[in-house]
Amino acid sequence: MDKKFIIKNCLSDDLREKLLVDCKPFLRKLSNENPAYQSNAPLRQFSQFNIIHQIFDSLATRYLERDLITDKSWFIMTQGKKDQVLMHYHPVDYAAVYYMNSLPSFKNGTLFEQDGFVEAPLNSMVLFPGHLVHTAPPFKENFKRYTMSLNWNFKNG
């Protein structure tokens, strides 16, 4: 399977807003190689994120029509600066980016090396094969973009 999905309206407004608040204490500048602010914590170990993981795991399973093994998840905050653009891939079967916040003039999405910018509205998740090279896009707005990334592998069988 090598398909991208845009899954809209993933969380209730209350859950999305709570996630946006709860993610901030986890964000930090990890290293010069990681230009954005991100979490390095094993987020699945924190009970405040259990329902979020259950929802995203269920959505990924439903759209991929496969049983999945959960992998890492983390938060990212970017400010659109060119030095925060870092093309990369995920060494898993499928990955996702969930978009927590937006502005009326801002277009959420992910920039893919092959396909260009894939727009996804607030409270949506782009689910895509992990081998696809991508990055958070640069932008000019005075804005802090908060996302959550998740990884999964297919269960054999």
Sketch out the chain's domains with CATH numbers.
5-154 (2.60.120.620)
Backbone dihedral angles phi then psi of residue 52, each to the nearest 5 degrees: -60, -50
Question: Average per-residue pLDDT in the chain?
Answer: 92
Angle at 56 between CA 62 and CA 5, to 5 degrees: 55
pLDDT tens per residue across span 4-46: 999 999 999 999 999 999 999 999 987 776 668 899 878 999 9
Say how far apart CA 119 and CA 150 lie, in whole Å: 18
DSSP SS3 for 24 = helix
**One-letter amino acid identity for 120?**
A
In the chain, pLDDT over 70 holds for what percent of residues?
96
Do strands 145-154 and 94-99 pair parallel, antiparallel, or not at all (unpaired)?
antiparallel
Cβ of 133: how many Cβ atoms within 10 Å?
12
pLDDT in tens, 43-65: 999 999 999 999 999 999 999 99
In the prediction, which pLDDT does 102 show?
A: 87
97-149 per-position pLDDT tens digit: 999 998 877 889 999 999 999 999 999 999 999 999 999 888 887 889 999 99
Tell me the pTM.
0.93
Which residue type occupies 5? F
